[in-house]
Structure 1
Amino acid sequence: MSTRPALLVEAFTDEPLQGNGAAVVWLDQPATATWMQRLAGSFKQSETAFLHREATGGWQLRWFTPSCEVPLCGHATLAATLALAHWGCLQPGDTIPLASRSGALQVGLDGQRPGAAHLTLPSAGLEPLPVPQALETLLGQRIEHYWGSSLGYRVALLQPTAPLATLACPSAGLEGQDRMGLVLMQPLPNEGPALMGAPCDYQLRFFAPGLGIEEDSVTGSAHALVAPWWMEQLQRNQVRGWQPSERHGGMLCEAAGPGWVRLTGAAQLLWDGQINSSGAGCDPDDWQRAVRL
């Protein structure tokens, strides 16, 4: 029986059994998309990350939800970074690129905080759109601003007094593009949750039933998308974002050049082992199409 290393990391949290879980699998050759999709369905995490080392020494990365492949995933990239460290392939202070469908993502271990890592994600701009009345009715809350993005996510800003943390999950009633990713966000008061030595500035929740995710716990790609807007509002080059999901967590977001945001967060290793990789096959052509430098 052929086996490969695999582990499960709970990302963007410094507390056990919180944050967003992601499985990470180290492949010895480019597996077929069909096998990776079936394995992601078996893991039943919001995302499963697959790492493959090229002959040149570089790494390729792909992400699958239980129902489809996605072009970007922050928490599974953080999980993959800490998996590489756990497997002895990345040392504290090192920064390396991971080739992905969203380009070469720079990742590294935080030299000051054991168990923490950083990753740089692309941040597509927010495009103002008319507020959909049907969404306001579904949420039972007033939407102050509503945006689209080239990432495909829609973003809605709620009033500071809206009960975002306790709002009932709206996924069953979402329509159209909102089903492919809806960010609900609001500012936090100064006494909000603390993260890395300071209070968080905003909080959000993320729903994507069209991707097979009723609600995501702590969503790196969503924070990378909205953090530049919060930086502009607060006139700062870094902000702290919180996600008050049932499995809560957060991250430090910093400007990393035009169109890029650097996220720093902690993570917890839940389990470490081997999987049966029989049937994985080998499809280098598919990996070349899916992963671009």
Structure 2
Amino acid sequence: MLRLLPKRLPFSQSLVSPRVLLRSNFSTSFIRLNENKQTSEPKPYTEPTQPRKPLSRIPIGGVNTESQRIKDSNIEFASWKAAVLMIVTGGVLYYFFTREKKRIQVQQDAESNRGYGRPLVGGPFSLTDENGEKFTEANLKGKFSILYFGFTHCPDICPDELDKLGVWLDQLKKEGYELQPVFITCDPARDTPEVIKEYLSDFHKDIKGLTGTYQEVKDCCKQFRVYFSTPEDVKPGQDYLVDHSIFFYLMDSDGEFVDALGRNYDNETGPLRIKEQIDAFVPKAEREKQKKKEASSWW
């Protein structure tokens, strides 16, 4: 059999020195390095075909100021609404508390004016109206009434006060308040029902006129603490002076006195005071019931 032996290199070629090998390897590496350098040279700069996106103005580690601005504006708007709501709520509460406080004060004033036991102002009386009909304290019940004491021969004060009363009545009626106005004479000798009826025709149509005998008028004036200076025995045609108190006496729907309005009340403050009393009114039955309840709870 024939055996194939590896081909042997010539002796001259097999004996290569290490220096030759090193040189050969270095040359090959150098050539490869040059090729890489040629292939890795930078390409010339060309303009981008698409525009660049703008750089963000948000600093590194910062926040988006636009979103922060929107957030701040929302907070400011919410704070503004809360402040307005607080002001409106406070105003409403202040109004109602003030109104309630005023109402309680008016009730207390009216209660003190009514007095305890025997009334301080007001009481039973019996007179005759301008139509000749009997008129007593019972006719004052069922609605608020306002009484004025005067006389038909009064030169200036009585006409002025009755004119002012007419303005009050019209103003109150516009606002839905019903009031019974009553004129009571302090001069029964001259002020007969016929004279009073003619005299009141120059004033508000709702005003009723009352008169009576000297004693009846005197007793009525005494009940209402009205100053009465008219002489008793007066001859026909005799001149004399009549003096009286200048007040409007406000009576509640139970026929009890609640307030006196003097000449200091004008066309604005007069109706306002009357409305306060009507709005704050508590019927006598409820007042008595409340007093009993408070007394029982106390003991």
Fold conserved between structures, TM > 0.5? no
Larger radius of gyration: 2
TM (normalized to structure 2)?
Answer: 0.23
Larger % of helix: which? 2
Larger % of strand: which? 1
TM (normalized to structure 1)?
Answer: 0.23
Higher relative contact order (CA 8 A, sep 6+): 1
